Amino acid sequence: MLLGLLEGALKRVAGRASVRAALERKPLSGPVWVAAVGKAATSMALGAQDVLKGAIERTLIITRDAEPLREFMPPPEVCFGAHPLPDERSLEAGSRLLEFVDTLPAHVQPLFLVSGGASSLIEVPLPGKRLRDFEALTQESFERGMNINELNARRAALSAVKGGKLATRLNGRAGRALFVSDVPNDDPRVIGSGIMGPAAQGPDHIEREIVASVEQAMAQVAAHAVRWGVSVQAPAGRFDGDAARLAARFTHELRLSTSQLCVWGGESTVRLPARPGRGGRNQHLALAAARLIAGYSDLLLLAAGTDGSDGATEDAGALVDGETCARLSLAEVDADKCLRRADSARALSASGDLVHTGPTGTNVGDLVIGLKLPLDEARAQARRHGGRPARML
């Protein structure tokens, strides 16, 4: 059930479908140049091509992972940046984006497609700043568990393209920007550290629209669960803060809730030790939750990154239940030690609880879904309403 709900949510906020719907509602006419930046860049660019087709003269994609490009015509230019730590590839990608903006012909309309991850994937340092300044800031964010608003604001202060500076470079030229948002309040000044936020100086004629957000993903989870006959609680507002503390909050709310399913959206943080192990914030949250629901046969909790990755791993997150800790004991793995070492992936691999989706074509932050239902009843519900087994690994 939980994996099916996650799958449905990811389809609802997929970059391709979201961009396609936005351009169908309000299409662009005439020649178009497309610049797509972020983890969902390829998917978003495909959505633009679905609608604009031959009107697109040039497409620049800046992303993290290589994806099939056979559907594009003409073929796009693709640059790969680094994530979560920027490197020389991020500088090269930033230079290509500047070249895209600076060489826009007078007759074309620029279309910018921005998704989460853009902050690390592109960079152009201000005079006197160096790549090592961005690397140090990112490393500090890991060690302190810095929230996304503070991190992106400090990134923008070092950058020649963020914080509205790229829009300023358009010199008042009209354009359009579509966003798949992974930040609180869906603020274009924060998404991608503001690479297409309002101009820092001068006139700004960019039309901005959020086409996908974690609230939409949460609403899809809730709607799907209700169709399955499951009662739902979906608290308003996005979560943030320490992953272990959030695990305590979510498991407490799940136990006390009069609903069978709770869904939360947002982004947690983990304060990393000097020599961290393997894992990400969602795996850390899930492992912390597993300790708190140990022995509860009717409780399960899924925590996953909507981009299909979690930290420096290829797993989206994990789905834990009341027997996760028992499985860890049988495997002779200490959950507390793994949490202290930020080595949650090791534990969750041993318990068989990792969730692997592969690239999703979106990035709206993280989803946490808690279920309070006896296992036999959950299976019966899924069978009655079209549920099917899903792969976890």
Segment 185-206, tens digit of pLDDT: 899 999 999 999 999 888 999 9
Fold of the CATH domain 2-7+215-384: glycerate kinase, domain 1 (3.40.1480)
Average pLDDT, the chain: 93
- Going from the C-alpha of 59 to that of each of 14, 54, 79, the distances in angstroms are 19, 12, 11
Q: Please tell me the predicted confidence (pLDDT) of residue 392.
A: 40
**Long-range contacts at 234-240 (CB < 8 A, ≥ 24 apart):** 234/262, 234/263, 234/264, 235/262, 235/264, 238/184, 238/214, 238/265, 238/266, 238/267, 238/365, 239/264, 239/265, 239/266, 239/267, 239/268, 239/368, 240/147, 240/148, 240/184, 240/266, 240/267, 240/268, 240/269
Q: What is the pLDDT of residue 391?
A: 43
- Residue 389: what pLDDT? 42
> Which regions of 71-169 does DSSP assign to beta strands (E)?
77-80, 109-115
Q: What is the pLDDT of residues 311-340, one digit of tens each?
A: 889 999 999 999 999 999 999 999 999 999
pLDDT at position 138: 87
Handedness of CA 248, 252, 253, 254 (dihedral sign): positive
Each residue's pLDDT tens digit, 200-235: 888 999 999 999 999 999 999 999 999 988 999 998
Q: Tell me the CA distances in angstroms from 228 to 221, 222, 299, 302, one per residue in order.
A: 11, 10, 18, 18
- Token pair listed for 69: 């490009």
For the purposes of burial, counting CB atoms within 10 Å of the CB of 18, is it exposed (0-12), middle (13-18) or buried (19 or more)?
A: buried
Split at pLDDT 50, 70, 90, the class of 310 is very high
**pLDDT (0 to 100) of residue 285:** 98
Domain boundaries, given as residue ranges, for the chain: 2-7+215-384, 31-212
pLDDT for 122 beyond 80: yes
Q: Is the pTM of this model over 0.85?
A: yes
Say if residue 390's pLDDT is above 70.
no
CATH superfamily of 31-212: Glycerate kinase, MOFRL-like N-terminal domain (3.40.50.10180)
